[in-house]
A and B are shown apart, each in its own frame.
Chain A
Amino acid sequence: MSVIYVLLTISIIVAVIFFTAFIVSVRSGQYDDSYTPSVRMLFEDELVAENSVTEQEQTKNTNPTK
């Protein structure tokens, strides 16, 4: 069997993987709201700083059960 078949198979598989990723992402509603995530990502830092106290408490609470 010629190497061209292998190459074609690989190239199509890669293409199909990306295509499926696209379909899955549309399906999950990622493209429905294209604005809010851009704002939301800027909040992350402040949240962590403020959450640190409560997170510690939470981990304390969950530790005994582990």
Chain B
Amino acid sequence: MNTTNCYHCGDDCAKTIIEFDEKNFCCNGCKTVYEIFSSNDLSYYYDLQAAAGATPKTVEGKYDFLDTTPIVERLTEFNDGDLQIVNLYVPHIHCSSCIWVLENLNKLNPYINNSQVDFPKKTVRVTYRVSDISLKDVAVLLAKIGYEPYISLDDYDTIKKGVDRSLIYKVGIAGFAFGNVMFLSFPEYFDLASSESSGGEFWLNKYQNVFRWLMFAFSLPVVFYAGKDYFISAFKGLKNNILNIDVPIALGISVLFIRSTLEISFNWGPGFFDSLTGLVFFLLLGKFFQQKTYSFLSFERDYKSYFPIAVTKILPNGKEETAQVYDIKRGDRLLIRNEELIPVDGILINGIARIDYSFVTGESEAVYKESGAKVFAGGKQMNSAIEIEVLKSVSQSYLTQLWSNSVFQKDTSNTFQTLTDSIGKRFTLSVLTIAFVATSYWLFFDSSKALNVFTAVLIIACPCAIALASPFTLGNMLRIFGRKKFYLKDTETIEQLAKVDTAIFDKTGTITTSKKSTAVYEGIALTLEEQLLLKNTLRISNHQLSRSLYNLLEEYNIVPLDEYKEHTGEGIEGTIRDQHMKIGSSSFTGNTETKNAENTSVHISSNNSYKGRFIFANTYRKGIAELFKDMSETFQLAILSGDNSGEKTTLEKLLPKLTPLYFNQKPKDKLEFIESLQNQDKKVLMVGDGLNDAGALAQANVGIAISENVNIFSPACDAILDATKFRELYQYILASKQAIKIIKLSFILSLLYNVVGLYFAVTGQLQPVIAAILMPLSSISVVAFATLMTNLLGRKLK
């Protein structure tokens, strides 16, 4: 059977093919988008990239809240009452066609002045005139062409802040000064031993001071602006009694600057301005390299990124009104439409709820609720509209309460001592010792040289190369991991990962896939006619379980049904001739036995007699058994699941013996479990996926979120791992350990340079030119070594 793919979205047009303009479409939605594009001269969209579109979803009423003025005020970047600029996040942006069509929005609606796409961030900035088109119209227009903007409570809450570009400025200034100072130092380099007294080059000597004071001028912004972070950090460290790596750096910078200034003031020598600016420039470059951000990912998400800004409130007089979610109070009545998220805990009043809690638990299967039942915040309604009465406000709801835990307020970044810092401490102490010993020696023999030697030691020992080893090794590892679809928040995560000795896994969605793809039949065997009827009945239903069961069953001829009926929340019925079949819940099919009700199952009854059921089993990710086997050798493992213990026996078979399994864990339990392990001095790695793991992910030393689609969903964490790479997790941890080894080797290499430099310094023969050669040479070779080694390491990774 050859499949026809949709011209617009590229999906398989399995059931119904809609032909239009000699092209095939899978649904009316796709066809409509094609019509819009082709009638507006935008069909070039399809030439850029075939089948780039997305099926537009029904949006009726979805963007109604954008009519509310205070909300519009908060969302727009610029608003003078006439012109508005808004930056919308559009998750579907994925190819050049997307950029092209979104930047030509004004062809679809002439009132849109301008639209600009930021591809890495997946945002589009739209400028429009309010008098002619409202923000809601813009959002609806985007949704209509398949580029649904994603607007969440987070957009409402965060005050738009400017981008922090100070590091780029600092690198720019340091680089600029470094280059100029180098040029201005050339006369000194070429005319090493000369001075007026020894009859050196007249011309150079005459203008010597001009060059020197110019260098001084260039170094001022470097010391006082570009390098100021090192002073601040060193000061903070000393205040807390920590000797971090910035202490010797700050010491080095200030000694370089003061000694150089004194040298040129009293005409003792040319000073070390070239080394000084070069040092700061290289250090900042390292910092810059370390900063790799994945702009399309967010590691800081909390529930706000998933919650809507506003919902529809039903007033006592029956009227509907848009209400901001923070204004929802206990006792309010809310209308939740299809595909909308329930923002608060409440009681179902009206309608049949089919709620998908996958945001909360990772479990993709929707649950049915009838009026009177409790519904929890974070669920997504998948059926027609429902009405709920509010029980708790947003911040007090079951799910959101988790975020009031102190874990989310704590700034963990300062508590971890990096490898560089711990080495920096020992380094500083030994450098100071050498400096004092050498100085006292010279005081004894030749006191005129003592000060010279003291400063020279501090200058040459400035740990530029050491400070660079870690940013370049880890920064490069970060990029390598990124290419392997393992996205880390920052370089510190690698160091933390290398120290981990305990690994805790969530079950649903983490070690299982979210798709259900195996089902076992249990009960009286079905006859051929029954199987045929089953398959054909399932074919019509759109229910998620029907679809997955349909795909699992063998192929049969397609036979039209004589009768078909769907009972929402219960099941479906189908009849061919005298054969009648009911498919659905246990009670619907008249099942009286209740055993093993924990597993998801679809029950079958034929001609009103119960036959049996299909039990869906969780599908575990590929290679899970091997991964656990490998990891169990060096790690302590455990499974923490929010689910019931229905899968216990399967898990026991799959995992290494005696792996502890914990079921029915609430989000808070998970957090406390991790905490208790940490109290036993364990370094814990938590691997999870849903918002219910968010607390545990935040508490753990390293929290890794597994994501089937990295662009869409992940709770706050330290790293995001693409689900397809789950098998490689252990390799990545090992690679992190290797990276730490590379840093240590780099330290040794840079220490060798320091020994050579110290020889010159201690013996009192440090010439500026030696410093100017040694400093960049050691930095460059350490950087080259670190980059080369990490690349070799990365090549071995899958």
Give bound CA distance, A11 to B183, whole Å.
Answer: 10
* A46/B44 in contact, CB under 8 A: yes
* B172/A39 in contact, CB under 8 A: no
| Residues of chain A whose beta carbon lies under 8 Å from any beta carbon of chain B | 2, 4-5, 8, 11-12, 15, 19, 22-23, 26-27, 29, 31-36, 39-40, 42-43, 46-47, 50
Residue of B118, B119, B180, B210 with most partner-chain A CB within 10 A: B119
* A32/B169 in contact, CB under 8 A: no
* Set B116, B165, B207: member contacting A2, Cβ < 8 A: B207
Chain A to chain B contacts (Cβ below 8 Å), 24 pairs: A4-B207, A12-B180, A15-B180, A19-B176, A23-B169, A23-B172, A26-B168, A26-B172, A27-B165, A31-B168, A32-B163, A33-B119, A34-B120, A35-B120, A36-B116, A36-B120, A39-B96, A39-B99, A39-B119, A40-B99, A40-B117, A42-B96, A46-B44, A47-B104
Known: A36-B99, A40-B99, A46-B44. A4 touches B104 (CB 8 A): no
Q: Which of B96-152 contact A (CB under 8 A)?
A: 96, 99-100, 103-104, 116-121
Give bound CA distance, A26 to B172, whole Å.
Answer: 10
Name the distance in Å between B558's Cβ and chain A's nearest Cβ: 44
Task: Specify which chain B residues have a CB less than 8 angstroms from the CB of A50 in the assembled complex.
Answer: 41, 44
* Set B104, B118, B173, B183: member contacting A36, Cβ < 8 A: B118
Chain B residue at minimal CB-CB distance from A53: B41
Give bound CA distance, A46 to B543, whole Å.
Answer: 44
Chain A residue at minimal CB-CB distance from B116: A36
Given contacts A31-B168, A33-B119, A40-B103, 10 further A-B contacts (CB under 8 A): A8-B210, A11-B183, A19-B176, A26-B172, A29-B163, A32-B118, A32-B163, A33-B121, A36-B118, A36-B119
Name the distance in Å between A30's Cβ and chain B's nearest Cβ: 11
Task: Specify which chain A residues have a CB less than 8 angstroms from the CB of B179 in the assembled complex.
Answer: 15
Task: Specify which chain B residues have a CB less than 8 angstroms from the CB of A27 in the assembled complex.
Answer: 165
Known: A8-B210, A39-B99. A33 touches B118 (CB 8 A): yes
Task: Specify which chain B residues have a CB less than 8 angstroms from the CB of A33 in the assembled complex.
Answer: 118-121
6 closest cross-chain pairs (CB), A and B: A36-B119, A33-B118, A19-B176, A35-B119, A39-B96, A35-B120
Q: B553 at interface (Cβ–Cβ under 8 A)? A: no
Give bound CA distance, A25 to B180, whole Å.
Answer: 21
Name the distance in Å between A18's Cβ and chain B's nearest Cβ: 8
Q: B755 at interface (Cβ–Cβ under 8 A)? A: no
Q: B797 at interface (Cβ–Cβ under 8 A)? A: no
* A26/B99 in contact, CB under 8 A: no
Give bound CA distance, A59 to B173, whole Å.
Answer: 46
Name the distance in Å between A12's Cβ and chain B's nearest Cβ: 7
Chain A residue at minimal CB-CB distance from B179: A15
Give bound CA distance, A2 to B203, whole Å.
Answer: 11
Q: B83 at interface (Cβ–Cβ under 8 A)? A: no
Give bound CA distance, A39 to B99, whole Å.
Answer: 8
Name the distance in Å between A60's Cβ and chain B's nearest Cβ: 16
Give bound CA distance, A34 to B295, whole Å.
Answer: 11
Name the distance in Å between A9's Cβ and chain B's nearest Cβ: 10
Give bound CA distance, A31 to B210, whole Å.
Answer: 36
Task: Specify which chain A residues have a CB less than 8 angstroms from the CB of B163 in the assembled complex.
Answer: 29, 32
Q: B192 at interface (Cβ–Cβ under 8 A)? A: no
Task: Specify which chain A residues have a CB less than 8 angstroms from the CB of B41 in the assembled complex.
Answer: 50
Fill in one digit per residue for B535-570: 1 if any A CB lies within 8 Å of its CB, else 0: 000000000000000000000000000000000000
Name the distance in Å between B187's Cβ and chain A's nearest Cβ: 10
Give bound CA distance, A50 to B41, whole Å.
Answer: 7
Chain A residue at minimal CB-CB distance from B173: A19
Q: B214 at interface (Cβ–Cβ under 8 A)? A: yes
Give bound CA distance, A32 to B163, whole Å.
Answer: 8
Name the distance in Å between A3's Cβ and chain B's nearest Cβ: 11
Chain B residue at minimal CB-CB distance from A47: B104
Name the distance in Å between B451's Cβ and chain A's nearest Cβ: 32
Name the distance in Å between B131's Cβ and chain A's nearest Cβ: 20
Give bound CA distance, A43 to B44, whole Å.
Answer: 10
Chain B residue at minimal CB-CB distance from A15: B180
Chain A residue at minimal CB-CB distance from B100: A43
Give bound CA distance, A46 to B169, whole Å.
Answer: 37
* Set A15, A26, A43, A46: member contacting B176, Cβ < 8 A: A15
Give bound CA distance, A34 to B118, whole Å.
Answer: 9
Name the distance in Å between A61's Cβ and chain B's nearest Cβ: 13
Name the distance in Å between B382's Cβ and chain A's nearest Cβ: 35
Give bound CA distance, A46 to B103, whole Å.
Answer: 13
Give bound CA distance, A11 to B211, whole Å.
Answer: 13
Task: Specify which chain A residues have a CB less than 8 angstroms from the CB of B118 in the assembled complex.
Answer: 32-33, 36
Task: Specify which chain A residues have a CB less than 8 angstroms from the CB of B104 in the assembled complex.
Answer: 47
Chain A residue at minimal CB-CB distance from B43: A50
Name the distance in Å between A50's Cβ and chain B's nearest Cβ: 5
Task: Specify which chain B residues have a CB less than 8 angstroms from the CB of A43 in the assembled complex.
Answer: 99-100, 103
Task: Specify which chain B residues have a CB less than 8 angstroms from the CB of A12 in the assembled complex.
Answer: 180, 214
Task: Specify which chain B residues have a CB less than 8 angstroms from the CB of A5 in the assembled complex.
Answer: 210
Give bound CA distance, A11 to B214, whole Å.
Answer: 12
Name the distance in Å between A66's Cβ and chain B's nearest Cβ: 22
Chain A residue at minimal CB-CB distance from B207: A4
Give bound CA distance, A53 to B445, whole Å.
Answer: 90
* Set A4, A8, A19, A34: member contacting B172, Cβ < 8 A: A19
Give bound CA distance, A38 to B207, whole Å.
Answer: 48
Name the distance in Å between B87's Cβ and chain A's nearest Cβ: 12
Task: Specify which chain B residues have a CB less than 8 angstroms from the CB of A47 in the assembled complex.
Answer: 104
* B214/A22 in contact, CB under 8 A: no
Name the distance in Å between B77's Cβ and chain A's nearest Cβ: 12
Name the distance in Å between B773's Cβ and chain A's nearest Cβ: 24
Task: Specify which chain A residues have a CB less than 8 angstroms from the CB of B116 in the assembled complex.
Answer: 36
Task: Specify which chain B residues have a CB less than 8 angstroms from the CB of A42 in the assembled complex.
Answer: 96
Give bound CA distance, A19 to B180, whole Å.
Answer: 11
Name the distance in Å between A43's Cβ and chain B's nearest Cβ: 5
Give bound CA distance, A31 to B44, whole Å.
Answer: 29
Task: Specify which chain B residues have a CB less than 8 angstroms from the CB of A15 in the assembled complex.
Answer: 176, 179-180
Name the distance in Å between B696's Cβ and chain A's nearest Cβ: 34
Task: Specify which chain A residues have a CB less than 8 angstroms from the CB of B121 in the assembled complex.
Answer: 33
Q: Which of B203-237 contact A (CB under 8 A)?
A: 207, 210, 214
Task: Specify which chain A residues have a CB less than 8 angstroms from the CB of B214 in the assembled complex.
Answer: 8, 12
Task: Specify which chain A residues have a CB less than 8 angstroms from the CB of B173 in the assembled complex.
Answer: 19
